[in-house]
A and B are shown apart, each in its own frame.
Chain A
Amino acid sequence: MELLERFASGDLEAFEALFRQHQREVFAWIVRIVRDSGIAEDLTVETFWRIYKSRARFDPAGNFRAWARRIATNAALDHLRHSRHETELPEDLPSARTADPVIRRETRERLKQAFFRLPAKYRLVATLALIEEEPYNDIAKAAGISVALVKVRVFRAVRMLRRKLNTLGVGVSAK
């Protein structure tokens, strides 16, 4: 019997083999979303626990890697939902366009804080698309949404950040 068939029928040795084959890749994907290796390790184990629990629903003819990545993305998203940064941004923010490197550094810090306070579903796609520069198609597959929706969420995330910074007086301009 093939490895995936054995896994789907509940064989623990087959699961271990798949775990060892894919743990690094799953970890690498999650750490880019949550940006903390300790949390990413826990979420990797959580991902494989979810995979093991859902083994009966897995089609052995299907793509295990893509399925694992989708489950990993959901696990990371659940984590982001429960770990939003609650710190308020200060009111006295400088302009983003100023030439002063100290002020620019301050602006970047505020932007970083605002980014990590985005709603989880926007933060997920914005992190993968804008920071990690993953192709939209890969993000869409991993998140189980359309490419168009990925683009919409990236656009909205950027708009939310711009508005947030504008309300705080940072000059990243316009509506």
Chain B
Amino acid sequence: MSNEENNKEMKNLIKTAIAPVKDTELRRDLWPQMLRKLDEQSAAAISVPWFDCALAAILGAVLVFFPGSIPALLYHL
């Protein structure tokens, strides 16, 4: 049997094994779900990531305990 025939047989077998999706109708309006997602994402965009807070806390601690580092920090900014 040639490759082409083999492929044809395989394709036919796939078609018999897996049927096309019959019901492609959307049953409900997804806009409310979309609005929720937009709200969640905009809230997430406003909130500060935890590692930024941690970085700010570490920097604050360094400045408090080692005030001598302030000129060095300003120099590098």
Contacts and interface: CB of A to CB of B under 8 A. Distances in A.
Contacts of B47: none
Interface in A125-175: 126, 130-133, 155, 158-159, 161-162, 172-175
B33 A45 contact: yes
A20 interface: yes
Contacts of B18: 111-112, 115, 131
Contacts, number: 96
| Majority-rule SS of A interface residues | helix
Contact of A32 (B9, B17, B20): B20
Contacts of A174: 1-3, 6
Given A19-B31, A131-B20, A133-B20, A161 B14 contact: yes
Interface residues of A, number: 40
Contact of B14 (A41, A44, A131, A155): A131
A109 B17 CA distance: 7
Contact of B31 (A16, A132, A172): A16
Contacts of B38: 12, 49, 52
Interface string B11-32: 1011111111101111111110
B1 A111 contact: no
B41 interface: yes
6 contacts: A19-B30, A19-B34, A23-B29, A32-B20, A45-B30, A49-B37
Interface of A: 12, 16, 19-20, 23-24, 27-28, 31-32, 35, 37, 41, 44-46, 48-49, 52, 96, 107-109, 111-112, 115, 126, 130-133, 155, 158-159, 161-162, 172-175
Given A19-B34, A31-B21, A161-B14, 10 more contacts: A45-B33, A49-B37, A108-B13, A109-B17, A131-B19, A131-B20, A133-B20, A162-B7, A172-B6, A173-B6
